[in-house]
């Protein structure tokens, strides 16, 4: 066989292999980028989140959204439907930044009519650079360009791991309970005094200036949040400050970041509260939650029963911040708890 003919045959075989593999991924579509899975269980878990979200946001049936970091992963959309109305879906990004959340929300508004957004307002999410994400994101799955999806079709992990997972569950169908179970980590951790493993009660380090992160927070709000609020006046946006344990605030004090983080609470409230379609809730000083370590697996992450209670409070309109003085009083309380824990050098409140 001539070298030229051999080379053409090899090239044809290689191209054919690429085309066949791509067609297989498109046909099965492990992450539901093109259509919902109807013959297998999609690989949705905390390790596949940035891929799975791309299909969930495009193709699931919903008109309301809960978005945020890992502290939003235990929400139950079925409960939210019942208490808040509509049909909810979780679009969570573990350790997500404001940019992570905006990627999901922008695609959601592009593909669905959205009546309500519940947004976990983690101050940590707003101190990142404008295009910084909490982990590597396959941006090609979040745009409207089908041609760069080749990175999905020929992805080694998709071909070697996720396609086999789909084929292993062939014949099964996802039901509506997947909305509650996706990304949820409830029941998998210990609560109580073990939550203090990442806590700090040492004397405060040199404190960062209170305004150290204001410019970044404002930039993130202006780039990733306000355009959605202003473009969709028909959508209700409910932002909430999560109930970190009191030990999280003392840990900030020990690291020298407390005042800068507390300042961001006021910055976010001042900006967001100007809009008629926005309500801000503050659960940060709910004492029976934040002073009881039995609610926490670490200083930041609370149990699923707190997520349920947050939904109940929002449905009842409780803990909504109606004026800046109300937020400032809560901020003063957070500082008081942090300083008391630092002074004592240990946890002072409840927890078994």
Written as one string, the DSSP assignment of 101-150 is HHHHHHHHHHHS---EEEEE--GGGGSS-TT--SS---GGGSSS-GGGGH
Separation between Cα atoms, residue 222 and residue 277, nearest integer Å: 16
pLDDT value at residue 49: 94
CB 282 within 8 A of CB 321: yes
CB 253 within 8 A of CB 343: no
pLDDT value at residue 19: 66
CB 148 within 8 A of CB 44: no
**pTM (2 decimals)?**
0.93
pLDDT value at residue 86: 97
Separation between Cα atoms, residue 258 and residue 54, nearest integer Å: 35
CA atoms within 13 A on the CB side of 280: 22
pLDDT value at residue 3: 64
pLDDT value at residue 13: 61
Would you give per-residue pLDDT tens digits along the chain (352 residues)? Answer: 566 665 666 666 666 656 667 778 888 899 999 999 999 999 998 889 999 999 999 999 999 999 999 999 999 999 999 999 999 999 999 999 999 999 999 999 999 999 999 999 999 999 999 999 998 899 999 998 988 998 998 888 888 889 899 989 999 989 999 999 999 998 778 999 999 999 999 987 889 999 999 999 999 999 999 999 999 999 999 999 999 999 999 999 999 999 999 999 999 999 999 999 999 999 999 999 999 999 999 999 999 999 999 999 999 999 999 999 999 999 999 999 999 999 999 999 987 6
pLDDT value at residue 11: 64
């Amino acid at each position: 066989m001539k070298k030229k003919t051999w080379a053409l045959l090899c090239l044809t075989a290689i191209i054919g292999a690429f085309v066949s593999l791509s067609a297989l991924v498109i046909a099965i579509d492990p992450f539901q980028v093109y259509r919902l899975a109807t013959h297998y269980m999609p690989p949705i878990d905390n390790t596949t989140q940035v891929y799975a979200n791309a299909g969930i946001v495009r193709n699931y049936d919903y008109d309301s959204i809960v978005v945020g970091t890992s502290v939003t992963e235990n929400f139950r959309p079925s409960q939210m439907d019942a208490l808040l109305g509509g049909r909810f879906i979780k679009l969570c990004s573990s350790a997500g930044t404001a940019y992570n959340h905006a990627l999901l929300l922008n695609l959601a508004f592009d593909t669905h009519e959205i009546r309500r957004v519940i947004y976990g307002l983690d101050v940590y999410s707003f101190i990142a650079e404008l295009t910084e994400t909490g982990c590597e994101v396959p941006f090609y799955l979040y745009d409207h360009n089908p041609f760069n999806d080749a990175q999905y079709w020929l992805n080694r992990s998709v071909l070697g791991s996720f396609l086999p997972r789909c084929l292993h569950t062939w014949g099964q169908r996802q039901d509506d309970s997947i909305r509650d179970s996706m990304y949820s980590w409830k029941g998998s951790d210990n609560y109580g005094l073990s939550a203090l493993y990442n806590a700090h009660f040492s004397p405060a380090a040199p404190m960062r200036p209170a305004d150290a992160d204001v410019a970044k927070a404002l930039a993130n709000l202006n780039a990733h949040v306000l355009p959605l609020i202003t473009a969709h006046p028909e959508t209700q946006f409910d932002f909430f400050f999560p109930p970190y344990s009191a030990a999280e605030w003392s840990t900030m004090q020990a690291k020298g970041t407390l005042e800068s983080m507390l300042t961001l609470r006021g910055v976010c409230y001042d900006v967001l509260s100007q809009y008629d379609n926005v309500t801000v809730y503050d659960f940060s000083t709910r004492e029976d939650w934040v002073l009881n370590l039995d609610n926490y697996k670490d200083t930041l992450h609370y149990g699923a029963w707190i997520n349920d209670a947050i939904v109940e409070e929002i449905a009842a309109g409780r803990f909504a911040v109606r004026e800046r003085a109300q937020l400032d009083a809560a901020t003063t309380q957070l500082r008081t708890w942090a300083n008391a824990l630092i002074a004592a050098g240990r946890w002072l409140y409840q927890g078994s």
